[in-house]
């Protein structure tokens, strides 16, 4: 056993981490959405959320200068609002019944997927402060509550006519900040333990490999293919969340 996991559980965690990191490198999001449910089968949900935030923080520091330089200004507004709301999400995670938490996460994941399916906003659309701020607040709550800041952020960028490079870098910037906020809030509120960074350290080399492979693939696909792929990732995540809600 390693860090309380059997070798079989660790193997599943490594495979899930590799796949989730590849999606992150290609789509710019999705690592936590894919990883938290799988890790939650091997460790308690709270630990899975904190581990995902640790991994998001570590991989977010890779190529930090590049993604900051390519990000839209809205990414920094969303990040700031998310930081303010993350402690609320951690507190809700600590007091919410697991069954209710699964239901809420499933509904949010499904809602975000349905938003992506809606017609894109006009090419000249510029999000207002209220839309941007609300996106940040919900992203922060979900960071602390589920380790998943993506559901409100992905539709915010994918429904607009902007370059995939801009959308991807902006999302990565936000997820770096929300991961930092998630780790910090968990530590401050006593939800985190020493086990999470140890497990994150074991999984991180796999994250580096998967993210590198995803980044290579990003440079070889068309804009349309990238948008289809990101929509599919969000749809699969929504289906997985619903399956966990109604399944045994």
Q: Mind listing the pLDDT tens digit for each residue in 69-98? A: 889 999 999 999 999 999 998 888 888 887
97 vs 213: which has the higher pLDDT: 213
- Spatial CB neighbours of 241, under 8 Å, sequence gap ≥ 6: 37, 102, 105, 106, 109, 110
Residue 153 included in any domain: yes
- Tokens representing 206 are 């796999």
Q: Dihedrals φ, ψ of 126, to 5°? A: -120, 115
Residue 212 has pLDDT above 70, yes or no: yes
CB 206 within 8 A of CB 59: no
Distances (CA, A) of 151 to 29, 62, 113, 118: 10, 23, 8, 15
pLDDT for 2 equals 57
5 vs 222: which has the higher pLDDT: 222
Residue range 172-198: average pLDDT?
86
Residue 198 included in any domain: yes
pLDDT for 247 equals 58
- Residue 190: burial class (beta carbons within 10 Å; 0-12, 13-18, 19+): exposed
Look at 15-24, 34-43, 78-87 and tell me which has the smallest mean pLDDT: 34-43
Tell me which residue of 92, 116, 114 sits closest to 104, measured CA to CA.
Answer: 92
Instruction: State how far the Cα of 214 lies from the Cα of 28, in Å rounded to an integer.
Output: 9
Look at 65-79, 191-205, 220-234 and tell me which has the smallest mean pLDDT: 220-234
Residue 178 has pLDDT above 80, yes or no: yes
Q: Dihedrals φ, ψ of 2, to 5°? A: -130, 120
- What value does the CA radius of gyration of the chain take, rounded to a whole number of Å? 17
The pTM assigned to this predicted structure is 0.78
Residue 116 has pLDDT above 70, yes or no: no
Instruction: State how far the Cα of 55 lies from the Cα of 204, in Å rounded to an integer.
Output: 7
Per residue in 119-164, pLDDT tens?
A: 777 767 788 999 999 999 999 998 888 777 888 888 888 888 888 8
Confidence tier at 240 by pLDDT (50, 70, 90): low
Tell me which residue of 232, 235, 207, 208 sits closest to 221, measured CA to CA.
Answer: 232
CB 169 within 8 A of CB 76: no
- The domain total for the chain is 1
CB 203 within 8 A of CB 14: yes
| Domain range enclosing 55 | 7-246
Residue 236 included in any domain: yes
- Spatial CB neighbours of 192, under 8 Å, sequence gap ≥ 6: 50, 183, 186
Instruction: State how far the Cα of 77 lies from the Cα of 94, in Å rounded to an integer.
Output: 27
Residue 123 included in any domain: yes
Instruction: State how far the Cα of 213 lies from the Cα of 208, in Å rounded to an integer.
Output: 9
Q: Dihedrals φ, ψ of 5, to 5°? A: -105, 145
Residue 1 included in any domain: no
Residue 2 included in any domain: no
Residue range 168-194: average pLDDT?
87
CB 165 within 8 A of CB 70: yes
């Amino acid at each position: 056993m390693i860090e309380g996991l059997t070798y079989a559980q660790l193997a599943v965690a490594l495979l899930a981490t590799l796949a989730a990191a590849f999606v992150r490198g290609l789509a710019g999001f999705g690592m936590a959405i894919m990883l938290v449910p799988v890790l939650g089968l091997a460790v308690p949900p709270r630990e899975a959320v904190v581990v995902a935030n640790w991994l998001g923080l570590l991989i977010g520091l890779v190529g930090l200068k590049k993604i900051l330089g390519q990000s839209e200004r809205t990414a920094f507004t969303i990040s700031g609002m998310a930081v303010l709301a993350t402690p609320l999400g951690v507190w809700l995670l600590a007091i919410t019944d697991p069954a209710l938490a699964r239901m809420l996460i499933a509904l949010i994941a499904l809602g975000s997927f349905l938003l992506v399916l809606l017609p894109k906003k006009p090419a000249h659309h510029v999000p207002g402060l209220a839309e941007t701020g609300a996106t940040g607040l919900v992203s922060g709550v979900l960071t602390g509550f589920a380790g998943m800041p993506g559901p409100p952020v992905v539709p915010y960028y994918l429904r607009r006519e902007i370059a995939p490079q801009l959308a991807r870098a902006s999302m990565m910037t936000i997820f770096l900040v929300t991961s930092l906020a998630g780790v910090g809030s968990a530590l401050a509120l006593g939800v985190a333990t020493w086990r999470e960074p140890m497990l994150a350290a074991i999984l991180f080399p796999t994250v580096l490999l998967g993210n590198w492979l995803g980044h290579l693939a990003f440079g070889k696909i068309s804009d349309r293919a990238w948008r289809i792929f990101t929509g599919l990732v969000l749809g699969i995540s929504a289906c997985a969340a619903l399956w966990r809600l109604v399944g045994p």
